[in-house]
Amino acid sequence: MAMTHLVRWAARAPAPVYAAIGPGRQAEVERLLTRPGLNRAKTPRDAAILLVAGDLPSSSLDALNRLHDQLPRPRTTLRWLDGDQEAIAHRITTALRALCDGAAGEDDRLPDTPANEWKGIGPHGQGGKGMMGGTPYGRPMAMTGKDVRDGLQLDRYTTRVGPFAPMLPPGLVLEVTLQGDVICEASVQAAPFAQPAEADAPALCAARMLRLLGLDAAADRVIRGRPLRAAWVTGAVPRGLARINDTDARDRLSAWLRSRTVTVAPPDLAALLPGSEWSEAMLILASLPPSALIRAARATEAA
């Protein structure tokens, strides 16, 4: 009895969708996910439906499979190649209802085993030197290194983020070395997917920054063309972040909120990100219009 109520409620909840956005589809997906019956999941763990929009290049198929396996069961993958928003929204709700009605959902695409065997070299079976570092299970562990701010010996942790990370532009793969949440080194492993000029629309650009500021409802309102209802929006962005052509991140956000398009010269990402904290770095990336970011990342990737 309780179970049937639960299932009925679950079917009425907004469909939690995690989008893997391919080339040219960023603007459409961002507009789609503001629709009332849909919910933009902030992590794949919170989603039931994986929306694959557009044709993904073969280089990111492996990442897509890993992303797919991160969704909790029961889950469904929907491909959105073309067609209008009505049709895909309808397909999403139908798929969610099928899952709630007890559809089995999809199995894992990759084997659920460690990438490597356990390799202990320390006296007590640790991975690396002393009790730190090394690559147990093929996972590179943190190792102490000079802190970029105070020169103290603090742990450095290197990891790759992307190409479908919720806080990064679609397609971008960053390899970052973190100390706490301070970025010590950053390199672009893959540039973001090409997007049409539509992705530079002021409302979409503003919404990306608003989501980082914790203003999801306001972001949805801005995309739907309604007035922003939030306080301390531009003030929350620190001054001097990613200053390019005499505009910093805060200036660009306020221009976008006044529906003005912003054009900036592509900056040098490898110089821009190190030294900033993770949240600042994400604001920096979101404060660049996708066209400028793509050119910047391609230049860095080639270098």
Partner 1 sequence: MIALLALFAVWTGWRVFRVDSMVRASFALMLSFVSVGAIGVLLSAPYIGVATVFMMAVEMMVMAIFMVMFMMNPAGLNPMVMVHQHRLSIAAGVLAFVGLSAAILLSPLPSDPVPEGSDVVAQLGHELLGPSMLVFETAGVTLLATMVGAVILSSRQGWFGAADHGSRPPDLTAGGDPAGRQPGDGGGHGHHHHGGH
Partner 2 sequence: MTALLVLAVLATLLGGTVLAALMDRAALPLAALLTRQRVETEAPDRMNRDLSSAWYLALAAIGLSVVPFAPGLALIDSPVGIVIWGSCEALVVVTVFLHGWSPNAPFPLIGAYRYAAIGLPIMLPSMFVLIAAALPAESLSLIDIVESQREIWNVLRQPLGLPLFLVVALAMTLRGPMDYADAADIATGTSAEESGAARALWQVARLAMLVSISAIAATVFLGGPLGPVLPGPVWLWLKTAALMALTVWIGNRVARTTPDRMLTILWVVLLPLSFLGLIIAGVMAL
Task: Point out which residues bind partner 1 (CB under 8 A).
Answer: 124-128, 131-132, 134, 136-137, 139, 141-142, 144, 148-155, 157, 180, 274-276
Cβ proximity to partner 1: between 12 and 149 the closer is: 149
Q: How far apart are CA 26 and CA 195, in angstroms?
A: 7
**d(C-alpha 118, C-alpha 126), whole Å:** 9
Shortest distance in whole angstroms from residue 93 CB to partner 2: 13
Q: Minimum distance between the CB of residue 278 and partner 1, rounded to whole angstroms? A: 13
Could you tell me if 132 and 141 are in contact, meaning their C-beta atoms sit under 8 angstroms apart? yes
The one of partner 2, partner 1, none whose footprint includes residue 57, by CB under 5 to 8 A per kind, is none
Calpha distance 157→192 (Å, rounded): 23
What minimum distance in Å lies between the beta carbon of 142 and partner 2? 10
**Residue burial 12-23, b: 16+ Cβ < 10 Å; e: rest:** eeebbbbbbbbb
Q: Report the nearest approach of partner 2 to the CB of residue 227 (Å).
A: 13
To the nearest 10 degrees (0 to 180), the angle between helices 216-223 and 202-212 is: 180
Residue 217's binding partner, choosing from partner 1, partner 2, none, with beta-carbon cut-off 5 to 8 A by kind?
partner 2
- CB within 8 Å of 82: residues ≥ 6 apart: none
Q: Of 145 and 180, which CB lies nearer to partner 2 in the complex structure?
A: 180
59-89 in b/e form (b: 16+ CB < 10 A) is: ebeebbeebbbebeeebbbbebeeeeeeebb
| Least distance between partner 2 and beta carbon 278 (Å) | 6
128 binds, among partner 1, partner 2, none (CB under 5 to 8 A by kind): partner 1
Residue 141 touches which of partner 2, partner 1, none (CB < 5 to 8 A by kind)? partner 1
| Alpha carbon distance 160, 177 (integer Å) | 9
Which positions touch partner 2 (CB under 8 A)?
A: 6-7, 9-10, 12-14, 16, 39, 42-43, 45-46, 48, 70, 72-74, 99-100, 114, 137, 139, 157, 159, 165-167, 178, 180-181, 210-218, 229-233, 235-238, 277-280, 282-283
CB 114 within 8 A of CB 127: no
